[in-house]
Structure 1
Amino acid sequence: METADQRALCQGSSCRLQLLGPVKGWCGGKEVDLGPPLQRAVLCVLAARPGQVVTKDRLINSLWGSRAPVTAEQSIYTYVAGLRRILEPGQGPRRPYTVLVHRSRGYLLRREALETDAEEFERHLQEARWLQAADDLDGSLKTFDLALSMWTGPALCGVPGPFAEVERARLEELRLTAGEERADVLLALGRHHEAATALTTLVGEAPLRERARELLMLAFYRCGRQADALDTYLQLQRLLGQKLGVDPGEALRRRYELILRADPSLDDPITTYVSVAEDRDTDLAPRQLPRATAHFVGRVEELARLRSLLAPGDEGAPQAVIAITGAPGAGKSALAVQAAHAVSGHFPDGRLYANLLGATPGVERLDGLEVLSRFLRALGVGHENVPSQVDEAAATLRDRLEGRRALILLDDAAHIDQVRPLLNLPHGNAVLITSRESFAMADDCVHLVLGGLGRSEAVTVLAKLAGAARIAADPIAAGRLADLCGGLPLALRLAGARLVERPQWTVHDLAVRLEDRRRTLHELESGQTAVRSSLEMSYESLRRSRAAVDRTAARALCRLGVLHVAEVTPDVMAALLDEPVDVAERALNRLSRAHLVEPVASRRFRPHDLVRLFAIELADEQLSAQERSLALIRALGFYGATMHRANHLVDPHRVQPPWPDVPQHPAPLTDAQDAKAWQESERANVIAATMQATSCPDDAVALMGAYLGFSLAWHLYWGGHRNDHLQIGEAALRVAARTGDSTVEALAHNQLSMAFNRLNRAADATVHHEAELRLQRVLGDRFGEMRALGNLSLNYSDLGRYAKGLECAELQLQIAREIGSEVGERHALVMTAIALRGLGDWSSALSLLEEASSLAEQAGDHAHVAMCLGPMASIRSERGDLAAAKSHLERSLVHLREVGYQDAELGRLCQLVEVERLLGDLESARAHALRAERLARELNDPRLGAVAARELEAIREAMAGTNTSPERAAAIMGE
C-alpha cells in the first residue's frame, strides 16, 4: 500500500518530458539534464508505458534490437540509476525509490510521476475530433492548433534505437493526420485560403499522402484556382507513376473528375469527420500476425503505399486484395508483416495469418481447405462445424466476415490457385498476399513488385549487422558492397554475417571477393542466382577452412539437401553424415552461427527456405545418386529404429510391424513419457521422410520408406491421425505394386484397413483386410493370417455381419493357440465376444470378455484390458446394471490413458456420459461430456462430437425435469 508520504513525494517530484522535438525534461519547473542518448531512450520506453512493468529484455530490445552488446543488461542498470537520481534527487540507499521502481524482471514508472507532451498532444487531438463531430468547428480548430503547436521538431529527436524509430514514425503519422483534419475544419468554416496555405506546406512534407492532396485540390478550387487544383492531381499522378508504378486512389480520381467539370457539389461545406469506431467486443478477435521486425529498415514508399491501400485516409473501404511479389530474399514477408501491424487498428475484427509454404522446397504446401479451416476455427466456428469442402468452407468464411473488418495475411503463396478461395471476401475486409509468382490474373488486386533496397537503406542494413563503425570506416566500399548484393535483404544479411565471422576482413575485402564472381553477381537483379551465389560463398568458405568443424559443417549443409524435412536434430544429422552425434551437433551449431540454419527449439534446427533450396541443389551437384541414397537410408534407419524403440516403451504388448536390421542406434529414450514426447515432436518429420522415400526412384530407398511408414502405425492409430495413416498406407501400396513385394503389399493393406477403421469406413477397411488375408495365406505367414482374421472379425461386426465376424474370430483363436500367440488369443476372445453379443448371446459374450480381461490383467496389457471393459460395460448397461457399467468405463479410461489411445478414450467418454446421466450424476456427466467435445475437436471426429453435444443437451433437459434450482443447474452447466 502506498503511503501518504510516498504520494506526496510523487506529486512533488512530478516531471514533464518533451518528446515532440528534441527530448528534454523538466522537474519542479526547472530543466534537467536527462543524460546520454541511450539513457534518454530508456526513459522514453518507460514513459510510453506508464504504470506498466517493462522487462529488462524489452528495454534491451528497444535500445539495441538484435545487436545488443554483452554489457547490455549492466548498461540498463546504469541508465536506470541515472534516471532515478534525476527523478528523485533526494532519495538514497536508506530511502527507497518510489517513482521509478523495480519489479519482477523489470521496471515500472509511476503514471502520476511523469507527464509527456506526446500524451497531451494525443488528448488534444481526440478532443478536437469530438468537437468536430459535435459541430463545434471553432472549438475544434482551436484545439487542433493547440495540439500542433506542441511540436518543436522531429519526434524523439536525438534518441537512438529501434523503439525510438517505431515511436517516431507513429507520432509523425499522427502529426500529419492532425494537419489534414485541421485543414478539413478550415474548409468547413469557409477559410479556404488558410487551408490552401497549410495544405501546401503539408504536401511538401509528405508528397505521397493522397488525403492531403485531395483536400488541397478542394481548397484551390474554392479559392477560384481550378487549374492549380487539377495540376495538384497531375503532379501526384506523375509522382506515383515514377516512384511506385501505380495510379492515384479512387477517392482522389473522383475529386479530380468533379473539379474537371466544376461540379456544384464542390461548393457545399465539407465536413469529413473522423469516424469513431463502433463499439465492438473484439476481445475474441484473432490476432495471429507474427511479430514485426524491430530493426526494419527502409521501404518507406512501399509502406506508405500499403497504408494508403489498407487504411485509406478518407475512411473508405480498404483495397480488397494486395499482392506483394518479387524475387526470393527481397523481404516480402517482412514488409507485409510490418504493414499489417501498422494498420491493425483499422481491422478490429481480426488479423489472420497463414504461412502457405509455397516456396518451401521439399515440404508440402498448405491447400485452400486447410487454410480456410484454420481461419474459421480462429473466428469461432466449432471444429465439427467446419465444412469439409472448399466451396462450402469459403462460403462460411464470407458469411463470418460479412459486415466486419478483418485483415488476412497469406504469406508465401505458390500461385493464385492456392489462395483463390480466400479472395472474394465481403466489402470492408482485405487480403494481403506475398508470393514469388505474379498475381496478374487475380481480380480486384493491386500489385506491389518489390525490388532491392536503395543504396542508403542497404548500407544501413549492413551497418546494423556488422557494426556502424566498421561500415562508416569505408563508405565507398560499403556502397559498392550494397550494389553487389543488389539490395536484396537476404544477400545483405549473408554479407553482414561473413563480416561478423571474419573480423579481420575490411568491407573492401568482402567487396573484392564478391566482384570475383562478377558474371554470377550480374544476375543478382533476378534474385535466385544471386542468392545462390551468396550462399555458395558461405559454403565454400566453410569447405575450404582449416578448422575441422567448418568442413564438417559444409558437409552437413550438403546433406541437409538429401532429407526433405522441416527440422533436423543432431541425431538425424549424425545419420546423414555417418558421424557421432556430438560431431553433428557441433556442425549444426556452426551452421547456426553462419546464419545458414536457425535454432527453433532445444537441439532442433531449421534452414531458411532459400538455404534449403540451395542445399538440395548442392546435394545433387556434390553427391552421387548412390551417396544420396545411402545418406537417406541412414536417416530413415535412425527414424525407424527410434520409432520402434518408442513404440515398445509406450506399449510393449503390441506386435510391431517388421523392421530391417539397421546399424543406426535409436535416440536415447528412457521411458513411456519420453517416448511419447519424441513421437509427437518428430511425427511430421517422420511422415515427410516416409513420403519422400516412398516416392524415390531407388527401390531400396522406397522399400525402406514403406517400412518406416509401417513403424508409425500404432502412434497414428492411437493418436487419431487418420488422414496421415491413410496417406502412408497408399504410398506403401504404390511401392509394393512397383517392386512386386508381396510382404509390403500385405502390410500396406493392413495399414489402410486400420486407417479406414478409424475413419468409420468399415466397408473400405474390410476390403483391405480381405486382401491382406489372401496375401498372408499365399505368403504362408501364420501370424499375419491370424491378425488379418482378427481385424476382419471386428469389421464384420461393425457392419452388423456378426455370423461372419464369429467365423473369423474362431479361426483367429485356433491359429493363435497353434502358434502360441498370447496377444492373438486375447484379441480373438474379445472378437468372439463382440460377435456373440451381436447375435444376442450376452451371457457367453460376458464370460469370454471376463476371461480375456483376466488374461490381459495378468500380462499387464493395458490396451487389451480397456478393449474388454468397453463391451463389458455395454452389456452391463443393457442389463440395467448402470453402476457396474460406470465402474468398467472408468477403469477402461485409466488403461487407455496409460497408452495414449485417444480415439478409444473418446468413445469410452461418450459411453460414460450416457451412463452417468442415466444414474443422475449430472455434474460428472457434464464434465465428461465437455472433455469428449474437446477431444472430438482435437481428433476431428464430428460423429462422436455430435454424440457429446446431444448428451449435453440431454443433461440440460434432465436438470429441467428435476428439482434442481435454476441457480444450481446454471452452476453445473457452467452458465
Structure 2
Amino acid sequence: MASEGSGARQAGIRLRVLGPVTASLDDRQLNLGPPLQRATLCVLAARAGQIVSKEQLIDDLWGGAAPKTAEQSVYTYVAGLRRLLEPDRGRRGPFRLLTHSASGYSLARSACRTDAEEFEQRVAEARRFQAKEDLGAWLRELEAALGLWAGTALGGLPGPFCETERARLEGMRLTVREDQADALLRLGRRQESLEVLVGLTTEAPLRERARELQMLALYRCGRQAEALEVFHDARRLLAERLGVDPGESLRRAYELILRADPSLGVSPSPATAAAPAEVVRPRQLPRDPQVFVGRTDTVVRLRALLAPWDGSEPQAVVAVTGTAGAGKSTLAVRAAHMVSDHYPDGQLYLNMLGATPGVGRLNPLDLLGRLLRSLGVRPEAVPSDQDEATAMLRDRLAGRRTLIVLDDAAGPEQVRPLLGLPAGNALLVTSRESFAAADDCVQLVLGRMQRSESVAMLAKLIGAERVAADPAAAAELAGLCGGLPLALRLAAARLAENRHTPLAELNARLRDERRALHELESGDLAVRASLQLSYDLLATSPHDLDRTAAAALCHLGVLRTPDATPEVVAALLDVPLAAADRAVARLVRAHLAEPDDHARFRLHDLVRLFAMELAERHLGPEARDEALDRVLGLYGSSVRLAMRLLDPHRVHPPHEFAEREPFTLTDGDGASVWLERERPNLLATAAQGMVSPDPSLARSGAYLCFSFHWPLTFMSHHADLLILNGRALEVGERLADQEISALAHGYIAMSLGNAGRYDEALVHQRAEVELRRTVGDPFSRMRALGNLSVVLNSLHRYEEALPSAREQLRLAREIGTEVGERHALMVVGAAQLGLGDVAAARAAYAEMGALAREAGDAMHEGEALIGMAKVHMHRGDPWSAAILLEKVLLSVRESRHRAMEVRCLGHLGRAARLMGRYGKARAYLLETLDVAEKYGAGYWVGFAREELALLDRGHAAAGD
C-alpha cells in the first residue's frame, strides 16, 4: 500500500500487536524504540485518519500518573516515529504520514497496517459464513484469525489505552476460540473441539459458554459423567470467585445431559458412558516426505512387514540401518504413513538423539516416559522406575494396534524396553548401528540409491526441465553424490539457490576436489564434502546475508547445545538480533538448519559435526572463547531477568557476565515457560563454560549455574542441581577460588536437602560455613549460618540449629537485609517448634509472615503460613492448619513452585488424617508420593509412605 503523497515509493508499515509489538517494512524489522514510543504508535494506529489531541495522547499513555515531562516525551516519541515512517524525507520537506495541527496529531490510514485490523476483518467474514451456515468456511476464517496471534496482545506495553485495548482484543480472541470449538463440534470433529475447549477452559475457567461447549463435546464423545463433572466444577468456581450461580444456558445444558436428551445429538452407550476417559490415539508422524523416489524394493518389504497382506500380525520390530545420509529417517516416515491405516490406535514418533554430536542420548526411562505421556498418562503418574514404566507401557498397548517410530537410535540397548511389546503393535527403528542381534527383529540395511533413482530425485528437487536440458551432467552429479539422499538434497539446494547455474558448473567444482570425490563415495565423508560445498557457496557469496549465514554456521560449532535461537546466534556473532534472525532464515533455506517450534532451530547431526570442524578451522581459540562468553552473558542476564519476573526477592551471587541484551521476557508465566524450554541449553552451556581451561569462562559457567539455582529449585530438578553444582565445586577447587567453592558447597547442600539427603547436605553446609569465616561479605556469612540451621532442623538437631538461626537473625538485622531477617525467623521458628516452645515458634512465624506481606515476598509468606500450620497441628488443631495449607497450595501452584507444592500436599495429607477425613488424606498423600517420586524429593517420599501406613492402621483400628 502506497503512502499518501509519496507515490509508490513508501510502503505502509506492518504493525503486529497480537503478541509482542513489532513492525516491519519491506520484510525488514524496524526498531520501534522504547515501550512508550511503541504505545504511541499503537494509539495513533488504532485511530488512523483521526486527529488525536496531545492531551488525549498523554491520557492514553499515562492516565492520571503523567509525569511533568509528559508533553516533551510525546514530542520525542512522535519525532522518533516520524523517522521510522518517512526515513527518506528531505531535511526541509513536510511530514505526510504523521502530521501535526493545532488540534493534535494524525496518522495517515495508509501509513500503518495492523494485524488487529486483519483479525477483526477475518472474524467479521467468519460470521458472514456462519450466517450462511457454511460451516467449513466459518471454521477456516476463524482459524485464520487465530493464526495471527503470537502471544498476549500489545506485548505488555504500558498505559491505560494499551490495557483497555489488550482486554478488548483478548476478549475477542477468547470468543473466537469458543466459535472455533463450536464450529468443530458442528462439523462432527468432537475430539478436536474438545482439545480446543480443554485449553480454553484452563485459560479462562469462568467463561460459561466454553464450559457449555465442553460439556456438549464430552457428551458427544460418550463421556457423560465427565460432562456433568464440568458443570459441577464450573458451579464451584463461579461460587468461590464471583459468588454467583451458573447462568440459565449452562444449567439447561446440565439438565439435558443429565437425562441424555435426544436433542443433544449422539447419546452415549452404557459402555462408553461408564468409561473413565477417552483412549488417546496420538498422530505424531512428521509430514509425509514431498520428495521421495526410489527404494521401491525396500518400501515394499517394509509394507509387507508392518502391514501384512494376509491380515496377520505385523513384525514386532523392524530396524532400518545404514550409513549417515542414506535416507533412513525419510524412508521410515514414508513407510509409516503408508501403513498408518493399519494402526488405528495411533502412530508415535521420537528422535532418540543416538548420533547427535555433543548432546546426550535419550535414555530408556525418558523414552518410556515420553511414550506414556503421549498415550494419555498424566506426567505425575509416569513411574520413575524403568521396569515399572515398561510394564505400564505394555499394559497401555495391550489389545491395541499402535506403530512406534524411533528415529536415530544409538543401538539395540537404547530401545531394549520396547523389544517385547504386545502383539499387534510394531516398532520401526532407524539407526547407524546394527540390529541383527536384537530379539524378534527384522533388519533392513539401506545402501546407496541406484543411479536412475538419484537422477529421478534430482528432477524432483530442481525440476525435470533442468535435468532434461543436460541429462549427462545430471547423471554425473548423481554419481558424484554417491547415491546418498542427503548429499543429493544439499547439491540440489545449491542449484536451486541460483536457477542460472548450470549443472556442469557444480560438477566441475566437485571434480576439482579429488579428496571430496573419494569422500563422496565413503558414507559420512560424502556428506562432509557436500556440506563444505554449501558452506563455501555462502562464505564466498557477494551478498552480505550469505556471508553472515556462513559465519553463523561456523560459530554454531562453538556450542554444544541441543538446539538454538536467533538470540543465541546474535550473541555468537555479536550482531543485532534482526541480522541474526535473517542469517538463521538463510541457513534454513539452504537446508543447513532445521526449523523447530517456538522460533527455534537445530542443526542436523552431520551439519553439527561439520560446524564443529568449521569452528576449529576458522576461529582461533580466543574468538571461540569470546563467542562462548557472549552466550554465557546472554543466558546469565536472561535467567536473572526470568527469576526477577517469577520472584524478585530471591538473591543471586553477584557476577559480571559479558554484557548482552537478555531474551524478551515480560511476565512470570512467560519466564517460567522459557526456563523450562531452555533448560537443556542452559545446562549444556553452563557445563561447557565450567570445563573450559579459560578461568574467566569457567567462572562465568559456574555463576550461570548459580543463577539457575532458584529456577531449578522451583521446578524441582534436583538431579540437575547436584550435577551442575558439583561441577562448579570442581571449578572452585581447580582455580583455587574460595568464593566459588563456598557458593558451590552451599548450593549442593540446598540441593541435597531438597532431595531429602540431609546427612550429606550437612557436610557441604559446614564446609561453606567454614569457608565463610574468611571468604565473602557479612551477607554471605549470614546466609550460610541460616542454611546450616535449615539442615540441622531437618535432622531434628534443634539444640544446634537454634544458636545458628539466632546468629543469622542478629547478622541480618545488623546489616539490614530484610530477606535474611525473614529467612532467619523461619529457621528460628522451626527450631523452637522442634524444642517444644510453641509460643515462641508462633511468634517467629507471625513476625516473618508480617514482614513477607509487607515486602510482597510470596514465597516467604507461604513459608510462614506453612510454619504456622505446623504450629496448629502441634497444638492439636489440624482444621486451622488445613485452611492455611490450602491457601499456600493454591499460591505455589500458580507460581509453579514444585518444591513447596510437595510439602503442602504432604502436610495437608497429615492434617486430613488427623481430622479423620481419610479419603481426602489418602488422595493428598498419594499425590504427594507421585510428585515427590517424579522430582526426586526423597524425604517426602518417605513421609508420604509413613503417613499412608498410619492411615491404613487407623482404618484397621476403626474397623476393629
Tell me the TM-score normalised to structure 2 length. 0.66
User: How many angstroms does 1:471 deviate by?
Assistant: 3.0
- Give the C-alpha shift of residue 412 in structure 1: 0.7
In the alignment, is the contact (CA less than 8 A) between 2:757 and 2:939 conserved in 1?
no
Pairwise CA distance, 1:689:
0.8
Among 839, 842, 854, the alignment partner of 1:843 is 839
* In structure 1, distance between residues paired with 2:591 and 2:395: 44
Change (3 A) 1:369 1:806: same
Corresponding residue for 2:784? 788
Cα 1:954–1:500, aligned 2, differ >3 Å: closer, same or farther?
farther
Give the Å deviation of 1:865.
1.0
How far residue 931 of structure 1 moved from its aligned partner, in angstroms, is 7.9
1:810 aligns with 2:845: no
* Aligned mates of 2:842, 2:806 — CA distance in 1: 16
On the 8 A contact 1:862/1:899 being kept in 2, the answer is no
Q: Is structure 2 residue 616 aligned with structure 1 residue 581?
A: no
**Aligned-residue offset at 1:558:** 0.2
Cα distance, 1:730–1:100 mapped onto 2, change above 3 Å: closer
What letter is aligned with 2:295? R
> 2:628: which partner in 1?
632
Q: Find 2:525's aligned residue among 518, 524, 529.
A: 529
Classify 1:840/1:679 alpha carbon distance in 2 versus 1 (closer, same or farther; 3 Å).
same
Question: What is the number of equivalent residue pairs in this alignment?
Answer: 696
* Corresponding position: 1:760 with 2:795: no
Cα contact 1:865–1:895 (8 A) shared by 2: no
- Give the deviation of 1:399 after TM superposition: 6.4
Output the amino acid matched with 1:823: V
Q: Give unmatched runs, 5+ long, in structure 2.
A: 1-128, 143-274
Cα distance in 1, alignment partners of residues 692 and 744 from structure 2: 17
2:639 equivalent to 1:643: yes
The residue that corresponds to 2:487 in the other structure is 491
Taking the TM superposition and a 5 Å limit, the aligned residue runs for 1:307-456 are 307-347=303-343, 351-378=347-374, 388-390=384-386, 393-394=389-390, 397=393, 406-425=402-421, 429-456=425-452
Structure 1 position 667 matched with structure 2 position 663: yes
Cα distance in 2 between the residues matched to 1:864 and 1:847: 15
Moved more, 499-508 or 631-640: 499-508
One-letter amino acid of the counterpart of residue 552, structure 2: A
The equivalent residue for 2:744 is 748
Aligned residue in 2 for 1:911? 907
Q: Is the 8 A contact 2:397 2:421 kept in 1?
A: yes
Aligned residue for 2:547? 551
Mapping for residues 884-923 of structure 1, pairs under 5 Å: 884-893=880-889, 895-897=891-893, 899-912=895-908, 915=911
* Cα separation, 1, equivalents of 2:544 and 2:397: 57
CA contact (8 A) 1:917 1:925 kept: yes
Give the whole-Å Cα distance in 2 for the aligned partners of 1:863 and 1:101. Answer: 49
Structure 1 residue 945, shift from structure 2 partner: 7.9
Q: 1:282·1:349 contact (CA, 8 Å) conserved in 2?
A: no
- Are residue 717 (structure 1) and residue 713 (structure 2) matched? yes
Cα separation, 2, equivalents of 1:942 and 1:813: 29
Q: Distance in 2 between the 1:800 and 1:947 partners?
A: 15
Deviation at 1:937?
Answer: 7.7
Equivalent position amino acid for 2:501 in 1:
W
Deviation larger for 419-428 or 831-840? 419-428
Provide the residue aligned with 1:609 in structure 2. 605
Q: Which amino acid aligns with 1:853?
A: G
Which residue in the other structure is 2:232 paired with? none
Aligned match of 1:104: 139
Aligned equivalents of 2:136, 2:872: Cα separation in 1: 66
Q: Offset at 1:686?
A: 0.8
Shift of 1:529: 1.4
Q: Is the 8 A contact 1:873 1:886 kept in 2?
A: yes
Distance 2:365 2:135 in 1: 52
How many angstroms apart in 2 are the aligned matches of 1:434 and 1:661?
A: 42
Q: Compute the displacement of 1:365 (Å).
A: 0.9
**2:687–2:701 contact (8 Å) kept in structure 1:** yes
Query: Structure 1: how far apart are the matches of 2:676 and 2:809?
Result: 35
Distance 1:951 1:303, change over 3 A: farther
- Cα gap change, 1:697/1:415 in structure 2, threshold over 3 Å: closer, same or farther? farther
Choose which of 784, 795, 809 in structure 2 pairs with 1:799.
Answer: 795
How many angstroms apart in 1 are the aligned matches of 2:838 and 2:891? 24
Q: Deviations over 1:136-165 (max 9, x none)?
A: xxxxxxxxxxxxxxxxxxxxxxxxxxxxxx
Q: Deviations over 1:393-449 (max 9, x none)?
A: 556656666676554432112233333444355666543321122334434443211
Structure 1-normalised TM-score?
Answer: 0.65
Check the 8 A contact 1:384/1:941 in 2, yes or no: no
Given that residues 577 and 631 in structure 1 are in contact (C-alpha distance below 8 angstroms), is that contact kept between their aligned partners in structure 2? yes
1:826 Cα deviation from its structure 2 partner: 1.3
State the match for 1:538 in structure 2. Answer: 534
In structure 1, C-alpha distance between the alignment counterparts of 2:501 and 2:930, rounded to whole Å = 58
Is 2:340 aligned against 1:305?
no
Residue type matched to 1:284 in 2?
V
1:644/1:582 CA distance change after superposition, 3 Å: same
> Once the two structures are superposed, what CA deviation does each residue of 1:654-707 show, in whole Å capped at 9, x if it has no partner?
111232353323334344344334323322211111122223343432222111
Structure 1 residue matching 2:487: 3-state secondary structure: helix
Matched with 1:832 is 828
- Counterpart CA distance in 2 for 1:800 and 1:100 is 67
Corresponding residue number in structure 2 for 1:165? none
Question: Equivalent residue of 1:848, what SS?
Answer: helix
Relative to 1, partners in 2 of residues 1:667 and 1:895: Cα closer, same or farther, differing over 3 Å? Answer: same
How far is 1:530 from its partner?
A: 1.3
Q: Report matched runs for 1:259-278 at 5 Å.
A: none
Q: 2:459 aligns with which of 459, 463, 466?
A: 463
The answer to whether the aligner puts 1:600 opposite 2:596 as a matched pair is: yes
**How far apart, in 2, do the equivalents of 1:461 and 1:579 lie?**
38
Q: Kindly tell me: are residues 440 and 735 of structure 1, through their superposed partners in 2, closer, same or farther at Cα, counting changes over 3 Å?
A: farther
One-letter amino acid of the counterpart of residue 796, structure 1: L
Go from structure 1 to structure 2 and tell me whether the alpha carbon gap of 1:395 and 1:932 turns closer, same or farther (over 3 Å shift): closer
Whole-Å separation in 1 of the counterparts to 2:442 and 2:605: 26
Aligned partner (choices 669, 679, 697) of residue 675 of structure 2: 679
CA distance in 1, matches of 2:290, 2:549: 30
Shift of 1:820: 2.6
| Contact 2:380–2:930 under 8 Å retained in 1 | no
Identity of aligned residues (%): 50
- 1:856 is matched with 852
Aligned counterpart in structure 2 of residue 822 of structure 1, from 787, 799, 818: 818
Point out the structure with max Rg over C-alpha: 1
Q: CA deviation at 1:867?
A: 0.8
Q: Per-residue deviation at 1:635?
A: 1.0
Corresponding residue number in structure 2 for 1:733: 729
User: Shift of the alpha carbon at 1:924?
Assistant: 9.3
Of the three residues 624, 647, 652, the one matched with 2:648 is: 652
The CA distance in 2 between the partners of 1:396 and 1:675, in whole Å, is 34
Matched, 1:509 2:505: yes
- Secondary structure of the residue aligned to 2:773 is helix
User: Secondary structure, in 3 states, of the residue corresponding to 2:427?
Assistant: strand
Structure 1 residues 832-841 or 661-670, which shifts more?
661-670
CA contact (8 A) 1:717 1:754 kept: no
Quick check: 1:383–1:937 contact (8 Å CA) kept in 2?
Answer: no
For each residue in 1:556-587, what CA deviation from the matched residue of structure 2 results, as whole angstroms up to 9, or x when unmatched?
11001001112222222122112222222222
